[in-house]
């Protein structure tokens, strides 16, 4: 573990990172170096054996689903939606009259993917406690043109999938889970990403299961959907010289698959560590009347890709600056809701007031959640917060 203390006070860390990828790399470097060496020795760099092996292991981990590796989490969303359009409508794309319900409090890619697939995103409000889509808001936003739902398991916290799936069944909607931040989390007995019609994962380096660059995967239990997803990632056909659909060059790199195979063996252990860090924060930050702590959804298992609090009374930015001065890294996910972004102007619809989304954007602050944080670093973060 790196020495991260000041000279004047040996118990005070110099810096507390939000995430420390070099620290994680050092722990797994021998395993990863050996895995990369096997790839370079075999020189099968495109859809090599490690990609197929990873897809099989991911499918087994998620409970026996079809998994297809793609080039990024954004591609996973786009390709999943395109495949859903093809399978459910017989057309290459949805049309602008087709509406897909999405929370406005999420990363750009979630809404952007809907537009790439030809449909119109309908942005709805969130639960102020979990930051996730509220089934009641989704139900209120539905029209005769609604074709699907994209619940986002934000920060690693599961959406209430029982209510969401019930809503989808009653109205014949697809459910695409955006599980980019929630690998390893579950709702009930099921792993996230394997509950809905399909699930999209990101292997961006900062994710709970992260590679050495971009990468992603799409999971589904439906064989016909999986077959179209596999075609779309390789230009749209089983035969690349006679393709059937408008596709993409979106293959998961073999080198990334090799790294992910190593990290997959450790993801549950590191997720347990993330939950332990969150529990420490919960225990030691409870009672601060200017701070609202995160809460896991009932029936779900949170994996804390981020530990996101709410700083009340308009003090978020000041608190963030004071923590920065003390060497504590934080982040704001997200400062602007999707429905206010320039890219969605004239391309989206909104439902309801979106009041909770607006409020969250002004108050959220993510604290250090590096799974290899030391006890001294955690204690220092808590001390600094309690002293504010």
CATH code assigned at 145: 3.40.640.10
Supply the range of the domain harboring residue 264. Answer: 14-388
CA atoms of 112 and 32, how far apart (whole Å): 33
Q: Identify the pLDDT of residue 4.
A: 54
The pair of structure tokens assigned to 237 is 């056909």
List per-residue pLDDT tens for the chain, 388 residues long.
Answer: 444 555 455 556 579 999 999 999 999 999 999 999 999 999 999 999 999 999 999 999 999 999 999 999 999 999 999 999 999 999 999 999 999 999 999 999 999 999 999 999 999 999 999 999 999 999 999 999 999 999 999 999 999 999 999 999 999 999 999 999 999 999 999 999 999 999 999 999 999 999 999 999 999 999 999 999 999 999 999 998 999 999 999 999 999 999 999 999 999 999 999 999 999 999 999 999 999 999 988 899 999 999 999 999 999 999 999 999 999 999 999 999 999 999 999 999 999 999 999 999 999 999 999 999 999 999 999 999 999 9
State residue 7's pLDDT score.
43
Q: Is 89 inside a domain boundary?
A: yes
Domain contains 3: no
Task: Give the DSSP per-residue string, 311-367.
Answer: E-TT-HHHHHHHHHHTTB--B-S-SS-GGGSGGGTTT-EE-S--HHHHHHHHHEEEE
Whether the CB-CB separation of 264 and 50 falls below 8 Å is answered with no
- What pLDDT is recorded for position 240? 87
The answer to whether the CB of 195 falls within 8 A of the CB of 219 is no
Question: Considering the domain boundaries, does residue 8 fall inside one?
Answer: no
Instruction: Give residue 1's pLDDT.
Output: 42
> Are 200 and 76 a contacting pair, CB within 8 Å?
yes
**Which token pair is 259?**
């790294």
Is residue 124 situated within a structural domain?
A: yes
pLDDT digits (tens, 9 = 90+) for 11-51: 565 799 999 999 999 999 999 999 999 999 999 999 999 99
Q: Are 222 and 214 in contact (CB under 8 A)?
A: no
Q: What is the token pair recorded at 17?
A: 């990172």
Q: Tell me whether residue 6 is in a domain.
A: no
| Number of separate domains in the chain | 1
Q: Determine, yes or no, domain membership for 5.
A: no
Residue 4 domain flag: no
User: Which residues lie across from 63 on neighbouring strands?
Assistant: none
In this structure, how many other beta carbons lie within 10 angstroms of the beta carbon of residue 104? 31
């Amino acid at each position: 573990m790196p020495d991260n203390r000041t000279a004047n006070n040996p118990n005070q860390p110099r810096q507390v990172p939000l995430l420390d990828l070099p620290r994680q790399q050092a722990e797994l470097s021998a395993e990863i170096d050996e895995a990369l060496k096997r790839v370079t020795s075999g020189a099968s760099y495109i859809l090599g054996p490690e990609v197929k092996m990873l897809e099989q292991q991911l499918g087994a981990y998620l409970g026996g689903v079809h998994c297809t590796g793609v080039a990024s989490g954004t591609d996973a969303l786009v390709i999943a939606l395109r495949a859903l359009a093809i399978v459910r409508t017989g057309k290459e794309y949805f049309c602008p009259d087709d509406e897909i319900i999405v929370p406005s409090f999420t990363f750009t890619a979630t809404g952007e993917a809907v537009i790439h697939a030809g449909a119109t995103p309908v942005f709805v409000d969130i639960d102020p406690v979990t930051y996730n889509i509220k089934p009641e808001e989704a139900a209120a936003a539905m029209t005769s043109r609604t074709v699907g739902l994209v619940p986002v398991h934000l920060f690693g916290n599961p959406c209430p999938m029982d209510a969401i799936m019930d809503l989808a069944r009653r109205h014949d909607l697809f459910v695409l889970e955006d599980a980019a931040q929630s690998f390893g989390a579950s709702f009930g007995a099921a792993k996230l990403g394997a509950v809905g019609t399909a699930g999209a994962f990101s292997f961006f380096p900062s994710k709970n299961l992260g590679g050495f660059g971009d990468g992603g995967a799409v999971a589904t239990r439906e064989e016909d959907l999986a077959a179209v997803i596999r075609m779309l990632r390789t230009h749209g056909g089983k035969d690349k010289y006679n393709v059937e659909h408008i596709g993409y060059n979106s293959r998961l790199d073999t080198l990334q698959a090799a790294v992910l195979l190593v990290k997959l063996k450790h993801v549950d252990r590191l997720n347990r560590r993330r939950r332990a860090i969150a529990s420490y924060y919960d225990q030691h930050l409870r009672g601060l009347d200017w701070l609202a702590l995160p809460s896991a959804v009932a029936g779900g298992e949170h994996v804390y890709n981020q530990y996101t609090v709410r700083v009340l009374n308009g003090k978020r930015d000041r608190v963030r600056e004071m923590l920065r001065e003390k060497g504590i890294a934080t982040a704001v996910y997200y400062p602007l809701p999707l429905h206010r972004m320039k890219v969605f102007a004239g391309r989206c619809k909104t439902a309801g007031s979106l009041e909770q989304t607006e409020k969250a954007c002004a108050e959220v602050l993510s604290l250090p959640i590096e799974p290899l944080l030391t006890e001294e670093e955690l204690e220092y973060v808590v001390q600094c917060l309690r002293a504010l």
